[in-house]
Amino acid sequence: MLVSSIARFNAINTMNKAGFGVMQTASQMNNLMNSSAFGGEHDLSLLNQMDKKLSLDLESNKLLCKISYMQEKMAAKHQDLNNNNNKKSLNILA
């Protein structure tokens, strides 16, 4: 049960970090668009590189968030299964 709880906490922690990363990357993309929209940055290749990097960061954080969500669900299911098995074995002994 302890291992399942630790796995769930780690998955939730990773999910929170990935969610925060998504918010930061979206904010950076927003700032990039606001600063370059009216003559701030004229180097289109640099803007393209920055856009690619931020888009990859955004997608990798989204994927990490989804994977962590599934890990947490699997750990919760394992924990419930383990709890049910323990209850059954206690009922047999009683």
DSSP, res 40: S
Q: What angle do CA 54, 59, 64 make, to 5 degrees?
A: 125
pLDDT digits (tens, 9 = 90+) for 43-56: 778 888 888 999 99
| Residues 8 and 76: beta-carbon distance below 8 Å | yes
Instruction: Give me the residue label for tokens 């970090």.
Output: 17
pLDDT digits (tens, 9 = 90+) for 20-68: 999 999 999 888 877 765 555 567 788 888 889 999 999 999 999 999 9
pTM of the model: 0.73
Amino acid occupying residue 2: L
CA–CA separation, 17 and 8 (whole Å): 14
Domain range annotation of the chain: 2-93
